[in-house]
Structure 1
Amino acid sequence: MKRHPLIWLSGAQPALLERTPGDRPKYQGIGGAVLTTATLAGVSMFFALQMALRAPWYAALPISLVWFLAILNLDRWLVVSIQRGNRAWLVALPRLLMALLFGFIISTPLVLRIFQPEIETEINKIRQEQTERFQGDLTGGEVGKKIDALEKQETALLQTIASGGTVLNPENDPQIVALRERLKPLEEKRDENADAATCELTGDKCQNGSRKSGAGPRYENFRNKQREAEREIREIDRQIQDRRDEIATASKTSREQTLREANEALPGVQTQLKNLRTIQSDAQKDFEQANEENTGLLVRLDALNRASTGDFTLGLWRILLFLLFTVIECLPIFVKVLQLYGPPSTYEQLAEEDAKRSVTSGKIRAETHEQSLELEQTAQLGQSRALVEAREEAARRLGTMTVEAELRVAAAILAAWEEREIARIPQNLDEYVTSTNDPIVEPASAGFDEPAVTPPLFGPNAPGVMPYYAPAFDEEARRRAETEGSQR
């Protein structure tokens, strides 16, 4: 019987399809759908590995083949496991959901590949935006602020050195610059409190006041804050003026000292500036490299979303292609589920009857096997009983033979003893005559309730008694022989 690969993928039984040739194309179509979904899954994995990991084709190809085989077997199992029954939809529902999940996952790389030109354009825009954002963070960050301050200090020192020790503009002095920075918030605080005091006193310049004119507690509070701010401003102005005077005096009295100090401070400032610029440059290079290598699935999905947000045509075709690939991936399951709600085909009827016959024959084989086991166990039990009985019979016979042997040995010993004792009679006659007297009954006056007897001829203490013979044989055999003898 010739086997067809598509028939195997459909999960149908070739032997039954030979009897129903009309159903053969149907199952070939199901097998073809399984093969198609697995092929698309392998291609999708190939594109995903190249986009996400930048894997070369010779590394992505074997992984894609493994994924192809995995989806092939999974789809085949899903198709075979859905069978017709009273609650077939309960069995089919989780398998359909699983197929949809895999369809969504597999469809995404294919859609990204189709819209690759639009995605690349949008990725460039995303990179540019990220670069500008990074530049702003780099300039406005701590390192950028330090670089800006050091550049101003370097400029002032260079001007001092170029003028021969005379500071051309006192406003570029770092101390004066710092004092000017402190003035700004104080001036804003002074003006705010002055407006608030005016609002409380006259009702003008009101924003959040009580809008009641008159010199009340709120007016005095704002005036006190205004005076405090003005006092701090005057103090800073005095410090600025003092610094100006110091610079002017130093410029007039010690141009050489100023020049020497500037020359000494300039290398340190330039070294710090160089280190900070190096740090900034390295951070810029690392960002640019990471930004250039950011070509994975996430940034591509983001780019596709941004590109399709403002473009109706692109968004529509994106959805349609995604649904198309998803439906193709779920096609074997859809076909199998739809097949359940139609009338059963000839192949399905034959398959159901074959399954029933298989169940019946399986039960018969199980019962036959159980009966054979019982017969075998019975035979083994009978054999064991026969073996026990045979061993008991052998033990009885062995006991009888042992007792007979003991009797023969005892008889031989007794005959030899008799012959020896007869030979000794002439030499020991008096001893034997004394030992072999009949028992003598003593009179009752002797004080005994029962008559006393002399030791018998044969006894353990009699002279010339025959030695006691104790044969060494199995006690159990002796017991069995005695029991058998008593029964006989």
Structure 2
Amino acid sequence: MTDAPTTGQTTAGRFDFARRLRALTGVDETLLARVGYERNRYTALGGVVLGTSVVAAFSMWNFASEALGGASFLALIPTVIWMLFILNLDRWLVTPQPNARRRVGPLLLRLMIALVLGAVVAEPLVLRIFATAVEERVTDDRNRDLDQLRGNLLRCNPVPSQTDTTARVGCGRYVLSFGATPGGQSDELSQLRSESAALQKRVDQDNSSLEAIDTEVRNECRQLVRIASTGLYERTSECLRMRAKAQDYRTTHRTQENERRLATMNGRIARLEGKVTDARGTFLKARAAGIQQRLAEERAKQKEIGVLERMRALDELASGNTVLLAGVWLVRALFVLLDALPVLVKFLSGESAYDRMLTSESNSAVKIHGERLRLAERKAMADIEIAQDAIEQKVRRSRAESEAGHREHTAAMNIRVRQAVRALEDELRRTSAV
């Protein structure tokens, strides 16, 4: 059954479409008309070539859209170029070649090219099919990276409670710069607290000792003795001595001065604690702002999910899931097979009558061309021989004319010499006669 038109414009239009499909296979319509029953075969093969190019165009559209960060009119440019390229390449791969069964090398080369192109076309489609899982994995990886960055920034920029001159390991690119830190005031506060604690300990010890002495003084001074001479009651000499001892203890240990110093130091500590608290709050705000800025910069670098990032995420997902790995490779194999389908359909369907006719036409054309070349060569050689004979004849004529002229010249010279001799003889005779 052929695609020849039967009735009306509709049939003619369908025939034209079928002819355009067959044009994608590279067949010669004039030669194919001799075996019209094979038109359907090449029409179907042209449909396969067109379908492969459409799949390739869809793959490039997905790839370009992902590379541009979304669907865009600019994605049509590489899509159309890639579709035309695949269309023409598949057309070249399936175009019938004379003596094709005798050349295994070109067949293998074409099949290898089809498989490689199939792998290239398949990858964007595989990423499209598993886009949901891939995007979730990439999002999780990015969030994990941001959390790790936040943790490193917090670890490498702690709230300084004292001046820290030691460098933390692995914090080279995570250290933030600040205008001021509460480290210096913290050092002063720590020093004051240490001195205050030591002074408080001394004051507590002095007060404890003084309290014991005062207790003894009170106990002793409760006792009064009567003076016999006056009849009055007075403190005992031991009471007076212990009072002097207590006064001497206060003087030598500077208890009042130490208490004033301790009160002053506590006041300074209270003021420094307020300043350190304010400075720590300012530092925490500055650190939080610096961390947010670094995180914002990192998010800005991430932008849209790229193709390489999708491929890496898909590989990581598949490496830990046998079912997903098998599914990914099955989808890849499917699209590779689809892209190699025109070549497989062409060369696995065997040699057709059109192919044999094409081989015969080609061999005949080669022979005719060879004979024409030989005929042209013989004509050219004959023309050359004729030209050579003409030139040789012309040379011979020129030589004969030259020899004849030379002989005529010689004869004329001889005649002139003889005439001159005779004239001389006649002159000699006349002279001798006189």
Q: Which residue of 1 aligns with 2:309?
A: 299
Deviation per CA, 1:374-423: give whole Å up to 9, x if none: 212211211221232233234334434555676688789x59x969x969
- CA distance change for structure 1 residues 137 and 379 in 2, over 3 Å: closer, same or farther? farther
Q: Which residue of 1 aligns with 2:389?
A: 382
Please report how far the alpha carbon of residue 334 of structure 1 lies from its aligned counterpart in structure 2 after TM superposition: 0.9
Note if contact 1:82-1:92 (Cα within 8 Å) is conserved in structure 2.
no
Q: Does 1:328 align with 2:355?
A: no
- CA distance change for structure 1 residues 306 and 15 in 2, over 3 Å: closer, same or farther? same
- CA distance change for structure 1 residues 403 and 279 in 2, over 3 Å: closer, same or farther? farther
Tell me how far apart the structure 2 counterparts of residues 170 and 83 of structure 1 sit (CA, whole Å).
Answer: 105
Q: Does 1:93 align with 2:108?
A: yes
Q: Which residue of 2 aligns with 1:167?
A: 192
Deviation per CA, 1:92-134: give whole Å up to 9, x if none: 2232122111101101112222333332222211211222233
The counterpart of 2:25, out of the listed 2, 10, 32, is: 10
Q: Work out which structure has the larger RCO, using CA pairs closer than 8 Å and 6 or more positions apart in sequence.
A: 2
Please report how far the alpha carbon of residue 350 of structure 1 lies from its aligned counterpart in structure 2 after TM superposition: 2.4
Tell me how far apart the structure 2 counterparts of residues 100 and 315 of structure 1 sit (CA, whole Å).
Answer: 20
> How do 1:316-395 and structure 2 match up within 5 A?
317-340=327-350, 344-395=351-402
Deviation per CA, 1:35-69: give whole Å up to 9, x if none: 22222223322322232354874433233323222
Q: Work out the percentage of aligned pairs sharing the same amino acid.
A: 23
Paired residue secondary structure (1:10): coil
Q: Which residue of 2 aligns with 1:181?
A: none
Tell me how far apart the structure 2 counterparts of residues 38 and 44 of structure 1 sit (CA, whole Å).
Answer: 10
Paired residue secondary structure (2:192): coil
The counterpart of 2:135, out of the listed 112, 120, 128, is: 120
Q: Which residue of 2 aligns with 1:289?
A: 300
Q: Which residue of 2 aligns with 1:157?
A: 184
Please report how far the alpha carbon of residue 298 of structure 1 lies from its aligned counterpart in structure 2 after TM superposition: 1.4
Q: Which residue of 2 aligns with 1:463?
A: none
- CA distance change for structure 1 residues 366 and 280 in 2, over 3 Å: closer, same or farther? same
Which stretch shifts more, 50-59 or 116-125? 50-59
Q: How many matched pairs? A: 327
Note if contact 2:96-2:355 (Cα within 8 Å) is conserved in structure 1.
no
Please report how far the alpha carbon of residue 356 of structure 1 lies from its aligned counterpart in structure 2 after TM superposition: 3.0
Letter in 1 for 2:94: V
- CA distance change for structure 1 residues 169 and 361 in 2, over 3 Å: closer, same or farther? farther
Give the TM-score normalised by structure 1.
0.54
- CA distance change for structure 1 residues 47 and 12 in 2, over 3 Å: closer, same or farther? same
Letter in 2 for 1:41: A
Paired residue secondary structure (2:149): helix
Note if contact 1:82-1:337 (Cα within 8 Å) is conserved in structure 2.
no
Tell me how far apart the structure 2 counterparts of residues 409 and 367 of structure 1 sit (CA, whole Å).
Answer: 63
- CA distance change for structure 1 residues 305 and 20 in 2, over 3 Å: closer, same or farther? same
- CA distance change for structure 1 residues 170 and 133 in 2, over 3 Å: closer, same or farther? farther
The counterpart of 1:142, out of the listed 153, 171, 181, is: 171
Tell me how far apart the structure 1 counterparts of residues 149 and 380 of structure 2 sit (CA, whole Å).
Answer: 82
- CA distance change for structure 1 residues 371 and 10 in 2, over 3 Å: closer, same or farther? same
Letter in 2 for 1:356: N
Segments of 5+ residues of structure 2 without an aligned counterpart are 5-14, 157-169, 197-260
Q: Does 1:19 align with 2:34?
A: yes
Tell me how far apart the structure 1 counterparts of residues 114 and 195 of structure 2 sit (CA, whole Å).
Answer: 77
Q: Which residue of 1 aligns with 2:46?
A: 31
Tell me how far apart the structure 2 counterparts of residues 107 and 114 of structure 1 sit (CA, whole Å).
Answer: 11
Q: Which residue of 2 aligns with 1:102?
A: 117
Paired residue secondary structure (1:142): coil
- CA distance change for structure 1 residues 422 and 169 in 2, over 3 Å: closer, same or farther? farther
Tell me how far apart the structure 1 counterparts of residues 337 and 291 of structure 2 sit (CA, whole Å).
Answer: 51
Give the TM-score normalised by structure 2.
0.60
- CA distance change for structure 1 residues 121 and 352 in 2, over 3 Å: closer, same or farther? same
Q: Which residue of 2 aligns with 1:399?
A: 406
> How do 1:208-227 and structure 2 match up within 5 A?
none
Deviation per CA, 1:226-274: give whole Å up to 9, x if none: xxxxxxxxxxxxxxxxxxxxxx99x98xx9xxx9xx99xx9xxx99x98
